Amino acid sequence: MSGTQTWISANLSYNNSKSGIIGDGRYGVVFHGTFFDQNVAVKRIQQIDVNPREEANLRVLNHDNVIKLKWLEENETFRFLVFELCASDLDNYLKGKYKGQPIKLPSDVQVLLQLSRGLDYIHTKNVIHRDIKPGNILISKTDPVRMIWADFGYSKLTNNHGSTSQSGFRGTHCWVAPEILRLRSNSTNARSSKQSDIFSAGCVFFYFLKPRIHPFGKENSVEGNISRGKIISADLVANDPVIQVVVIPMIAHKSEDRISLTKVIEFLEDPKGIPAAFETMKTKLSESTLIKINKKLIWISTLLQQEKKTGWTIQAQVIKKSQLLLMESIKPGVPPTKYFFVELADGSGTIRARACTAKNCDKFYPLLKEGKEYFIQKSTLTALGEERILSLRAESEIIPI
C-alpha cells in the first residue's frame, strides 16, 4: 500500500480513498484502479454480498456495448471485479456533473443504435438486465465513443420464452415496466422479461433524446403514471419521428404490444426510413383531410399512456366486433341501453371502443367492419373498471380508409 493506493496483488491496485470512488451501490463500491499499469475500474464487494449470478452472466457477455469483466481477484474480506475505466455514466453526463475531458458523443441515432445492439446481444445470451437506467449506461473514454451497458447485479437468465420468475422487486422505480411495479402490491405471478428491459430502455431513450425529461413525468409521480399507463410528456414529441416510431412503441403499457429490438435496430440502422414510417399513418388521406388531422394523429400506445382525453386522432383496424348488446338499467322502469364493442389495433397496441345508446349504435355499428381500417377522432378516453377504452359519442368522427 502506497498512500491511498491499496495493492490487491502484484498487478492490481485501487485508490482506496473518497477521491478514488467512481460510484457505489447497494452491494459494492467502484474505485479508480490500475491493472498491469492500465487505468481500470475496480468494483469491491464484501464476500458476504458476492452475487455469483452477476459474475456468471458477465463471463458470457462479450460485446463492444456491454461492460467486459477483465479480471477477478479476492481476499478474505472482499472480492474485486476489474472493468474498463469509462469517462462517465449517462445520467451524470446529462445532468452536467461530468467535469473531465470533453466528450464527443455519436449522433443521437447512433447512441440509440449502439445501446439497442448491446441490449439485443444481452438478450440473445438469454440474460435480462433488470436494472436499466441512465446511471447504468457508461460512456467510454475511447475514440470513437462507445455506449456501454453496465451493472449486472440484478441480471438473471431467462427461460426459452425470454422471461423469468421474480420473487421481489428489482430495479429502480422510475425506470421499471408496469408489470414489475405490480410486485409492489405483493403480486405473486409477476414475471420480468426481455420486454420489461425494452420498456426501461425506451424510457432511457426518451430521457436522452429530450434531455432529463422522463416520459412519465416528474420523479414523485413517475411510478403512479407508469402503473396507470399515463405518458405525461406526449405533447413534446407529437411530431418527433424517432420518438414516435421507435421510442413510444418501446414503452407500450402491455408487454406484448412493445416493439422488438430487432425492429428498433432495423429502424436505427436505416434512419432514412423513420420519417417514411411516421408518414404511413397519413398517406391514405386526401391532402385537405390530412391538413386537418396530421397534428393530432397518435399511436394507440401513446393514447393509453397520456392524460389528454380528447383532441387526438388514431388510425386503426377493427380486429374484433361484438354483437349488439343490451345493458340493464339500475333504475326501475328505465328500458335497457343498446351498446356494442369493437377492438382496435394499429401496430403499437390495442384498445377497445364502445358505443352506447340506440342512436350511437345505429350510427356506428353498420360503419365499423372487421378487417377494415379507419381514422377515429373526437372520441373520449374513459375508464371501464381498470381498463381504459374509447367512448364513441354522437360527435365522434369515423373516417374509412
User: Which tens digit of pLDDT belongs to each residue from 192-243?
Assistant: 899 999 999 999 999 999 999 999 998 888 998 898 888 877 667 877 899 9
Domain 284-400 indexed as CATH 2.40.50.140: yes
Catalytic residue among 89, 120, 131, 257, which?
131
- Ranges 178-182, 229-233, 309-313, most confident: 178-182
| 338 assigned to a ligand binding site | no
Residue limits of CATH 2.40.50.140 in the chain = 284-400
Residue limits of CATH 3.30.200.20 in the chain = 1-85
What integer is the mean pLDDT of 299-322?
A: 85
Peptide bond before residue 275 is cis, with ω within 30 degrees of 0 = no
Evaluate if residue 100 carries a pLDDT over 80. yes
The answer to whether 214 and 233 are in contact (CB under 8 A) is yes
Rg value, the chain, Cα: 25
Active-site residue, 89 included: no
User: Which tens digit of pLDDT belongs to each residue from 25-62?
Assistant: 778 999 999 999 999 999 999 999 998 989 999 999 99
Which residue bears the cell 431513450?
Answer: 205
Evaluate if residue 187 carries a pLDDT over 80. no
| Confidence band for 327, pLDDT divided at 50, 70 and 90 | confident
Evaluate if residue 285 carries a pLDDT over 70. no
CA atoms within 13 A on the CB side of 293: 25
The answer to whether 146 and 118 are in contact (CB under 8 A) is no
Q: Which listed CATH number (1.10.510.10, 3.40.50.11600, 3.30.360.10, 3.30.420.40) goes with 89-278?
A: 1.10.510.10
How far apart are the C-alpha atoms of 149 and 120, rounded to whole Å? 11
pLDDT number for residue 282: 47
Evaluate if residue 328 carries a pLDDT over 50. yes
Residue limits of CATH 1.10.510.10 in the chain = 89-278
* CATH architecture for segment(s) 1-85: 2-Layer Sandwich (3.30)
Cα 287 to its chain centre, rounded Å, is 34
pLDDT number for residue 281: 44
From residue 242, give the alpha-carbon distance in Å to each of 205, 252, 276: 10, 15, 11
The answer to whether 167 and 136 are in contact (CB under 8 A) is no
Evaluate if residue 80 carries a pLDDT over 90. yes
What integer is the mean pLDDT of 163-191?
A: 69
Q: Report yes or no on whether pTM surpasses 0.75.
A: no
